[in-house]
Amino acid sequence: MAVDAPARAAVKLALVRVDDRLIHGQVVVGWVRMAGATRIVVADDAVAKDEMQKTLMRFAAPPGVETSILPVEDAANALLHNAFPDDTIMLLTRGPQQLVQLMAAGVPLTRVDVGNVGGASGRMRLTKEVAAGPDDLAAWRALDQAGVKLQAVWVPGATVTDFNRVIRGRA
């Protein structure tokens, strides 16, 4: 799963984070503040179609922080066409596949913070907080091979794990 991105546009992202919970307490209390985010962009096809989930996430966002919950393709277009010119953006995805899609669309990613990606049947534990199935692992590897710095970190200020090294250590 290689990432062949078109020419990269000048998109300013304060923080890119993978967390399968998307907008939740740690995001609201810690990460938004740490990034100085004025807008959270959630790039997720399933959530973008679910009005109840979108409503709950908008209520969970901190006061004064705008939320945009978009299908991955629409999120890429919005970011590439400077749809939020006055905002400091925190980009959230549920997993690495969405990041691969964003990069393939031309969204430049240089660093990704990896948070909680839960375990389930058929998924192997990579770190205490991160599990992956075969498709996830292929996407993480594609991001690593594209030169994206991956760092697993649970909360702001916590110990950072070199997630590129974790990925490279998996056969």
pLDDT by 10s per residue, the chain, length 171: 655 544 444 567 999 999 998 888 777 778 899 999 999 999 999 999 999 999 999 998 999 999 999 999 999 999 999 999 999 999 999 999 999 999 999 999 999 999 888 877 778 889 888 989 899 999 999 999 999 999 999 888 889 999 999 999 875
Q: Which two tokens stand for residue 9?
A: 């546009």
Please give the Cα distance from 75 to 68 (Å, whole number): 8
Q: Is 81 annotated in the active site?
A: no
Helix 96-104 crosses helix 134-145 at what angle (to 10 degrees)?
Answer: 40
The pLDDT, as a whole number, for residue 2 is 57
Q: Does the predicted model carry a pTM greater than 0.95?
A: no
Please give the Cα distance from 30 to 130 (Å, whole number): 19
Of 21, 24, 58, 123, which residue is the catalytic one? 24
Helices (H), 30-146: 32-35, 45-49, 51-60, 72-80, 96-104, 134-145
Q: Which two tokens stand for residue 123?
A: 């998924």
Domains of the chain, first to last: 13-168 (3.40.35.10)
The pLDDT, as a whole number, for residue 11 is 66
